[in-house]
Structure formats: C-alpha cells, structure tokens
C-alpha cells in the first residue's frame, strides 16, 4: 500500500488571502446581483418573481426599446474603439519602436498621460474644448478657414456618440500603444536580422514578421477594450448626464443601468430592474469573453524564441 500523500496545507494557506478577498468583494456581490434580479417588490415587500424581470426587460416595448438602444450604442462605441484606438495604438507603437525616432521617451509619456487622468477631468476638458460658446475648437478651425466644419458635435444626435467614443479613444490610446510597444521590443533581434538577410524590410517586415508576433497582444487588448467599453459609464455620465442626451443617443448600458438602479430626478430607483440590466450586461460580457477565448485565443499561433 502506498502511503497517502500528506495534505499539502501550504497550497490552501497561500491561496487563502486572494481567494477570500476575491470572494468577498467580487463573487459574493456578483451572485447578490444575480439573485436580486430574480426578485421584485410586490405586496408585503420582496417577492420572488423568477425570470419575470427579464421578460419585462426584453418583452415590454419601452424597456426593450431602451435596452436595445443602449446595446446598439454600446456596440458602436466598441466598434469605434476597435477601428480607431487599436490600429492607432499599433501604429504609434511601431513608430516609437523605430530606432531612428528621436525623443521617443517624450512621445511615449505624452501619449500615455491622458490614460492616468480622471474621467471627470477628461470629460470636462473636452466639453470645454468643443463648446460652441467658449471652446477653442471653433476658434482653431476658424484660424485655418474651416469654421464651417464646426458643429456642436456633443449636442447633435448624429454625432454625439461618435464624438464621445473618439474622446475615449484619445484618453486610452496609450494602453494599446504601451502593450504593443512592449511586445515589439520583445521580438529578438535575430528574428529581425534573419528577415533582413532574406530581404524582408520596411512595410513587408512589419506585416509579415512583426504583426504575427504581436497578434496575441492585440488579442488581449481587444478583450480589454471589449470589457472596458461594455462596462463604460463615467465619460458619458460626466459629459452628457444620466439622461445620456441628446434624445438618448449616447445612452450605453452603463448609463441605462445607473438611471434604473439609482433613479434619477423624480424617478425613484428600482434595484430589481437595475440588477436585471446588470445581469444582462454580465451575460453579454461573458459571451464576448468566451467567444474570444474559445474561438480566437486557441487559434492564435504563439512563437517561442
């Protein structure tokens, strides 16, 4: 008989702090929210209603219109980030890693600084810059003779959301830039030298050698952007308020959740419907992340040097 292995206590002990803290501040509230969405206030306090809150959210024409509007806006918000923030981030990183660039450290810092600013500052600064009354944007456009291009972008239904998405891109472009920059720096010189020996230089070197090597980083950035965008709230709240005007054109899931959960002005908060929306958001993010993990992450080729 083989002797039973002694229970390895040290594993449990070392895991305990992280597990306990994570459970207390993440897992428990998460299940609390999921639980809350199955109840509603009825006669005599809280009653269990099963999935009826979800039926209201998706079945009631008003609730579902608000929800799909928020989801659609959120999708557009994400798309703008994917199409602008990440390619620009990659491009900046490629430029920064070029050995011929002077003052790379300065540019790196300057581009990264907005990321560490508070949403409140970014929101107010851009609101002021773009203000048709006091802003410097109309004046600057006027100076180059393009005043006619200026419009109160944040106030128009057609442009407000895209403008906000671009502001957010401006703020966060530093993150993909840094991650890609690090990935580019970690490409060994031998690989690049070998490519040069084979006559692969310039653009084709970027597309054929460097890009495949940084694809895993781009994947991580995409998933961070996805989670960040679908949890976004602050910037919209600061610049447009909880009603996400004009005419709900900038309403994303975060602001929709906030208005429902905490109430707004004369609207009294509804924690149960709020939790229902939060659960729906959780589901959407879970689906997105799972899709990435199972459909994309596994097919990414990784290269060992």
Partner 1 sequence: MTKTIRLALLASTLLGSAAWAQDVTLTIESWRNDDLAIWQEKIIPAFEAANPGIKINFAPSAPPEYNAVLNSKLDAGSAGDLITCRPFDASLELFKKGKLADLSDLAAMANFSDVAKSAWQTDDGTQTFCVPMASVIHGFIYNKTAFEELGLTPPKTEAEFFALLDKIKEDGTYIPMAMGTADQWEAATMGYQNIGPTYWKGEEGRKALIEGTQKLTDEPWVAPFRQLAKWKDYLGDGFEAQTYPDSQNLFTLGRAAIYPAGSWEIGVFGPQIGGAFEMGAFPPPVPAEGDTCYISDHTDIALGMNAATKHPEEARKFLEWVGSSEFASLYANALPGFFSLNSAPVEMEDPLAKEFVGWRETCEPTIRSTYQILSRGTPNLENETWTASANVITGAETPEAAAERLQQGLASWYAPQQQ
Binder among 6, 11, 116, 133 for partner 1 (CB under 8 A): 133
Is 130 a binding residue for partner 1 by CB under 8 A? The answer is yes
CB of 83 to partner 1, least distance (A): 25
Which residue(s) pair with 45 in the sheet?
A: 42
- For residue 24, give every residue at least 6 positions away whose Cβ sits within 8 Å of its Cβ, in sequence order, or none: none
- 162 near partner 1, rule: CB under 8 A: no
Nearest alpha-carbon partner for 154 in 131, 185, 179, 178: 131
Tell me whether residue 41 or residue 186 sits nearer to partner 1 (CB atom).
41
Nearest to 277 by CA among 63, 28, 75, 29: 63
The answer to the question of residue 245 lying near partner 1 (CB under 8 A) is yes
Task: Print the binding letters for residues 254-293 with partner 1: x by CB under 8 A, - otherwise.
Answer: --------xxxxxxxxx-----------------------
Per CB under 8 A, the segment of 12-20, 36-44, 151-159, 216-224 that binds partner 1 is 151-159
How many amino acids of this chain bind partner 1 (CB under 8 A)?
A: 31
How far is residue 239 from each of residues 32, 70, 122, 156, measured CA to CA in Å? 31, 17, 9, 13
151 in contact with partner 1 (CB under 8 A)? yes
| Binders of partner 1 in range 50-79 (CB under 8 A) | 62
Whichever of 147 and 208 has its CB closer to partner 1, that residue is: 147
Binding site for partner 1 (CB under 8 A): 62, 127, 130-134, 138, 151-157, 240-241, 243, 245-248, 262-270
């Amino acid at each position: 008989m083989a002797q039973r292995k002694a229970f390895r206590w040290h594993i449990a002990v070392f895991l305990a702090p992280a597990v306990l803290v994570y459970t207390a501040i993440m897992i428990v509230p998460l299940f609390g929210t999921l639980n809350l969405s199955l109840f509603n206030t009825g006669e005599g306090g809280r009653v269990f209603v099963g999935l009826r809150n979800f039926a209201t959210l998706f079945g009631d024409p008003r609730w579902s219109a608000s929800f799909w509007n928020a989801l659609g806006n959120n999708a557009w918000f994400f798309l703008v980030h994917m199409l602008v923030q990440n390619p620009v981030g990659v491009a900046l990183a490629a430029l920064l890693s070029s050995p011929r660039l002077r003052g790379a450290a300065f540019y790196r810092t300057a581009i990264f600084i907005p990321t560490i600013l508070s949403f409140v500052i970014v929101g107010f600064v851009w609101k002021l810059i773009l203000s048709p009354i006091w802003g410097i944007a109309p004046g600057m456009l006027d100076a180059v003779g393009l005043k006619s291009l200026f419009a109160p972008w944040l106030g128009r239904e057609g442009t407000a959301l895209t403008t906000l998405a671009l502001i957010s891109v401006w703020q966060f472009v530093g993150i993909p830039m840094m991650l890609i920059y690090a990935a580019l720096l970690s490409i060994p010189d031998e690989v690049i030298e070998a490519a040069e020996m084979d006559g692969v230089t310039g653009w084709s070197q970027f597309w054929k050698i460097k890009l495949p090597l940084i694809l895993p980083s781009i994947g991580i950035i995409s998933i961070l952007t996805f989670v960040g965008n679908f949890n976004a709230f602050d910037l919209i709240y600061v610049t447009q308020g909880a009603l996400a005007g004009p005419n709900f054109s900038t309403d994303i899931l975060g602001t929709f959740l906030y208005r429902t959960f905490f109430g707004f002005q004369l609207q009294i908060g509804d924690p149960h419907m709020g939790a229902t929306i939060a659960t729906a958001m959780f589901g959407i993010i879970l689906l997105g992340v799972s899709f990435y993990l199972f459909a994309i992450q596994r097919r990414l080729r990784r290269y060992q040097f």
